[in-house]
Amino acid sequence: MEKKNGTEIASLGEFGLIDRLTSRLKQRNATTLLSFGDDAAVIDLGEEVMLLTTDMMTEGIDFDLSYFPLKHLGYKAIVRGINDILAMNAKPQQVVVALGISAKISVEALDALYEGMEHACNEYSVDLVGGDTTASMNGLVITITATGRAKKEDVVYRSGAKEHDLICITSNLGAAYMGLHLLEREKRVLKDIDNPEPKFQGHEYLLERYLKPRARINILDALKENDIHPTSMIDLSDGLASDLRQICRSSQCGARIYLERIPIARQTTELAEEMHIDPVIAALNGGEDHELLFTVPLDMQEKIMQLGLVDVIGHITREEAGVILVTPDGEGIALKAQAFDR
């Protein structure tokens, strides 16, 4: 268990670590169509497939209960789980919840957590069908396992992007990152103050994007209604730079995205400048946006633009061209994935 004579996890990076741990594993069942390497595993059901994914949230790493309302936390936990199903262009149907519960958590707190989960399940027509609980020595741990279904031909993988495809995102980026920074700032400032009154006025949108992200089922419905089938897709949870590189890695392609096309909300820019943070860094590397990043064929450009629900921020290139951010003056900057930090 000690690492003093072993390899530091940070030296591999998050995805390098996953590759190392999973490369030795072999598939033993013909029904396992896809195991690792995408937002969800794909299980053969005949004409349809089942999608299966797990997401874990750990107190002190993924959330801070000193400012995260438990009702919102329950809602967000469900959204994080089902977004991986949506990112495969599938309909989420069931979730299973496992909790590690520390002694400081009351029954009433768990009631609030499950109230938020129930609200999300109602909103997205998902059933909470079971789970497990165990004691935790290090705070609250939430694990969501989500399932979904789709026709085989409808499933979208990270590996399907082709040269000249358009790169699209479903909403603005960096807001959740700045919402987290706002909460952390007010926690520090008000640490030793009785009856603290945090200054959230004018930043409500940022707080909602971090505390209560929305699942983009409406976007997938709109794409289907307009006969637009994405060639690749991923849940934007680790930041645009990192997740775009995952699509390019899986699809063996490159990408060019344009700085002036990346949508950044006004509140994000204002707070970033106030806190001396580059809003572009927040948009590229912030993570927790839980939007959908996807590609579509170039001949779908007119349909996508008429849809009015997504932003086209670039296009797919040859693999040797790399993953490039183009600035307004035409300079190309290579995008790099973040180090493992969660």
> Does residue 186 sit within a domain?
yes
* pLDDT given for residue 214 in this prediction: 95
- Whether residue 226 sits in one domain with residue 318: yes
Non-local (6+) Cβ contacts of 61 within 8 A are: 342
> Does residue 339 sit within a domain?
no
Q: Smallest Cα–Cα separation from 289: which of 146, 79, 117, 148?
A: 79
**Number of domains observed in the structure of the chain:** 2
Residue environment code for 76-92, b if the CB has 16+ CB neighbours within 10 A, otherwise e: bbbbbbbbbbbbbbbbb
**Residue finishing a domain among 105, 136, 153:** 153
Non-local (6+) Cβ contacts of 278 within 8 A are: 272
> Does residue 199 sit within a domain?
yes
Non-local (6+) Cβ contacts of 18 within 8 A are: 36
- Whether residue 259 sits in one domain with residue 117: no
**Residue finishing a domain among 97, 127, 153:** 153
**CATH number of the domain enclosing 244:** 3.90.650.10
CA dist 272 and 268 (Å) reads 6
* pLDDT given for residue 197 in this prediction: 81
- Whether residue 215 sits in one domain with residue 299: yes
The tens digit of pLDDT for each residue in 192-207 reads 777 778 889 999 999 9
- Whether residue 329 sits in one domain with residue 264: yes
- Whether residue 174 sits in one domain with residue 202: yes
> Does residue 107 sit within a domain?
yes
Whole-model pTM over 0.85: yes
Contact of 177 with 164, CB cutoff 8 Å: no
Burial class for 11, CB neighbours closer than 10 Å (0-12, 13-18, 19+):
exposed
The tens digit of pLDDT for each residue in 281-303 reads 999 998 899 999 999 999 999 99
- Whether residue 171 sits in one domain with residue 52: no
**Residue finishing a domain among 100, 119, 153:** 153
- Whether residue 242 sits in one domain with residue 200: yes
Contact of 124 with 78, CB cutoff 8 Å: yes
* pLDDT given for residue 341 in this prediction: 45
> Does residue 1 sit within a domain?
no
- Whether residue 318 sits in one domain with residue 185: yes
* pLDDT given for residue 339 in this prediction: 46
Element (H, E) at 268: helix 266-274
* pLDDT given for residue 230 in this prediction: 98
Residue 1 pLDDT exceeds 60: no
- Whether residue 13 sits in one domain with residue 139: yes
Structural domain harbouring 19? 9-153
Which tokens go with 108? 């009433």
Look at 72 and 337; give whichever has higher pLDDT: 72
- Whether residue 208 sits in one domain with residue 116: no
* pLDDT given for residue 13 in this prediction: 64
Q: Whole-number mean pLDDT of the chain?
A: 92
The tens digit of pLDDT for each residue in 203-222 reads 999 999 999 999 999 999 99
The proportion of the chain whose per-residue pLDDT surpasses 70, expressed as a percent, equals 95
> Does residue 340 sit within a domain?
no
Residue 3 pLDDT exceeds 70: no
- Tell me what the mean pLDDT of segment 162-169 comes to: 98
Q: In the block, which residue shows the tokens 């001396």?
A: 276
> Does residue 137 sit within a domain?
yes
The proportion of the chain whose per-residue pLDDT surpasses 90, expressed as a percent, equals 83
* CA distances to 183, 186, 206, 215, 252 from 272, in Å: 13, 15, 11, 25, 34
Which tokens go with 339? 């180090």
Kindly report the number of other CB atoms within 10 A of residue 297's CB atom. 16
